[in-house]
Amino acid sequence: MQARIIVLSLLLAAAGTSAARAHAFLDHASPLVGSTVATAPHEVALTFTQSLEAAFSSVQVTDAKGARVDLGKAQISGNTMRVGIKAAGPGRYQVHWHALSVDTHKTEGNFSFTVGGQ
Amino acid sequence: MSRFLLHSCASALCVLFASLPLSQALAHCFVGARFFPATLVTDDPCVADEMSLPTVSWSKSGDVPPATEWDIEGEISKRITEDFGIAIGEGWSQIRQPGAPTLAGFADLETTFQYQLLKDPSHETAMLLGLIVDWGNTGATNAGIGTPYSVLTPTYYFGQGFGPLPDELSWARPFAVTGQVGYQIPTDSYDVAQGFYIPQVVVYGASLQYSMPYLKSEVKDLQLADFINHLIFITEAQLSTPVANNFGNSYETTGTINPGAIWVGSYFQVGLEAMIPVNRASGTGVGFVAQLHLYLDDMFPNTFGQPLIGGSPSKAPL
């Protein structure tokens, strides 16, 4: 019984010691994940469930041949990450992102979108 | 292990929690883009900082007439290093048998030592080795809920996401499977008081999952209701088969198949599953299990949410 009390006491003690933050999940994207858009977007915008560490979060956009079509460094503000896209023709594009939330939890993901109904 | 030694170990852990410098905060069971939730009756394939409190289940035994059993359990898991963790679990049970006294009490204290063998983000693969120890004489032995002997269960765990499937099968990418197989070795072979042999048992289980969060963020955003986008549909199986030292008793496999769902939030998850016995020896009718599971690494990123020792710098350039 003493061991049980010790474990519960530790949990209660920890509860008051730290602000709660969490992993940054991708909440939504523009263009939408898996969507088909009629015209090429000028940028890809990702919105996360938590604020991001700008220096340690990134996004890349590649075409069907694996060549990068993004304009380089992403703009990160709060929980949103944006990156511009070069003039892109019809085809399938892949978005690869890494995120570090402000409490240093890492997440990553990939998704695609299609331009021009292919 | 004597009660004195048990309490000493718990006290030592307490001192470790309170005094050691904490280094960094990393994930619970994230493997690349895949998140393996904590499963209810099996275990996920990662060491982590997390707590299940409570896990509540209700079922009826296969006896005639059947006994009704309530179980309330709690477990806390803590990473000692980045790849090694310890879990401590405890449970309380009440068994009502018609025409017999109600039995109630604590189960034996359970500790699990786990080592992360592999996390392969690109293939969404995770593997884990564990040693589960049920400490004899720490529960309600007189009620038959605890045992006078300890049980050691070396266990292998795995998880595999279907994310690497080709584009033609993108609808299946939110699927994942997890599983575990262990071998229970009691520290005694014969229970003198009860007069029966104590069998060695293979315990195994698996889960099949379909992750709506994965569908939304990796495959296709169908713009469904937010509640649905947080669900992971799951079917778990937990089974056990006596394989040795079971003289005069049945070698029949028992267990349950558990369909249900887990709602995953940022700081906790809630799971609910039906428990369907695989045969008459496993139970009568459909029971249920429900669980509140807390992500301690997200709730307390600067304290409980970090391994006690070591770890690599988390702010590496991406």
Cα B149-B154-B158 angle, rounded to 5 deg? 145
Interface of B with A in 88-107 (CB under 8 A): 88, 90
Q: Do A17 and B109 touch (CB under 8 A)?
A: no
Confidence of residue B11 (pLDDT cuts 50, 70, 90): very low
Contacts A14 to B, Cβ<8 Å: 17, 296, 300, 303-304
pLDDT tens by residue, A20-47: 457 888 999 999 999 999 999 999 999 9
More confident residue, B292 or B28: B292
Burial class (CB in 10 A: 0-12, 13-18, 19+), A72: exposed
Average per-residue pLDDT for chain B? 88
Rounded Cα gap, residues A13 and A79, in angstroms: 30
pLDDT tens by residue, B118-152: 999 999 999 999 999 999 999 999 888 999 999 99
pLDDT tens by residue, B164-179: 999 899 999 999 999 9
Q: Do A103 and B301 touch (CB under 8 A)?
A: yes
**In percent, how much of chain B has pLDDT > 90?**
75
Q: Whole-model pTM?
A: 0.86
The answer, for B122 touching chain A at a CB cutoff of 8 Å, is no
**Residue B262, min C-alpha distance to chain A (Å):** 17
pLDDT at A3 over 90: no
The answer, for A28 touching chain B at a CB cutoff of 8 Å, is yes
pLDDT at A1 over 70: no
Strands B175-186 and B200-211, sheet pairing: antiparallel
**In percent, how much of chain B has pLDDT > 70?**
89
CB contact at 8 A, B206 and B179: yes
Rounded Cα gap, residues B135 and B123, in angstroms: 37
pLDDT at B282 over 80: yes
Two structure tokens written together for B203: 């315990």
